[in-house]
Amino acid sequence: MGSLYVALIHYPVYDKNHDVVTSAVTNIDVHDIARSCCTYGVAGFYVVTPVDALRALVRRIIHHWEEGEGRDYNPSRSQALALVHLEANLEGVEIDIERRHGRLPLLVSSSARSRSAGPGADSSNVPITYDALRERIEDSSNTEGDEPWLLLLGTGWGLTEEILDRCHYALDPLRGPSAYNHLSVRAAAAIILDRLRCPR
């Protein structure tokens, strides 16, 4: 299937005024995205925030379900939360994945906004469909070393240009039959993972 990782980015992201901010980590995002990652065979789920107190909050959540009363109450939740890792920034995620695979991951952005490749871009920031990305991830599992992929999910009002510019590929925005396009990050994560991991 190929090694796919997911990172939920809380900084740097935009707020509704297009200012760069750090967004809050929410309990439900951690739980629900971890469950989606576990369902769709994701290798690891990173929660990325530079705020020590927020990383401590996530550690308490994980401890409750992995070692506390939650483990006996709901073992399947424990299995999902075992995928969660904490990092202060995207660079920390890349280093951890490189440690696991011996190579840096290919970065894939997701956004509700359409994005085209920049001038002269050959191998980075390339728009890609879900079908094409799924095939590339599946094909990469046949290469030596099983090339890792990292899907970036933005919180707040989306990933900043700084982060988007670092990505090798940009997924098409999710679209429904209406003009409304404001999915929660939890819903978007589940839909994206279903499109990338389920046989078609």
- Tens of pLDDT, residue by residue over 40-73, are 999 999 999 999 999 999 999 888 777 766 566 6
* Low-confidence winner among 2-6, 75-79, 129-133 (lowest mean pLDDT): 75-79
Of residues 10 and 139, more confidence is placed in: 10
Q: What CATH number did the domain enclosing 70 receive?
A: 3.40.1280.10
Report cis status (omega within 30 of 0) of the bond before 50.
Answer: no
151, two tokens: 């899907």
Express each pLDDT in 1-40 by its tens digit.
Answer: 679 999 999 999 999 999 999 999 999 999 999 999 999 9
Q: Which residue carries 């894939």 as its tokens? A: 108
CA distance 14 to 121: 24
Instruction: Give a yes or no: residue 97 inside a domain.
Output: yes
Number of H helices, E strands in the chain: 8, 9
Instruction: Give a yes or no: residue 114 inside a domain.
Output: no
Of residues 106 and 125, more confidence is placed in: 106
Average pLDDT of the chain is: 89
Say which residues have a Cβ less than 8 Å from residue 32's Cβ, sequence separation at least 6: 186, 189, 190
Q: Please give the average per-residue pLDDT across 77-99, as a whole number.
A: 95
Instruction: Give a yes or no: residue 161 inside a domain.
Output: no
The whole domain housing 42 covers 3-107+130-156+178-197
108, two tokens: 């894939």
CB 188 within 8 A of CB 174: yes
What are the backbone dihedrals phi and psi of residue 12, each rounded to the nearest 5 degrees, phi first? -90, 135
Instruction: Give a yes or no: residue 71 inside a domain.
Output: yes
Instruction: Give a yes or no: residue 142 inside a domain.
Output: yes
Instruction: Give a yes or no: residue 35 inside a domain.
Output: yes
Instruction: Give a yes or no: residue 32 inside a domain.
Output: yes
Express each pLDDT in 99-122 by its tens digit.
Answer: 999 999 999 999 877 655 444 444
Instruction: Give a yes or no: residue 163 inside a domain.
Output: no
Residue of 39, 165, 178 whose CA lies nearest to 111: 165
- The model's pTM: 0.90
The domain total for the chain is 1
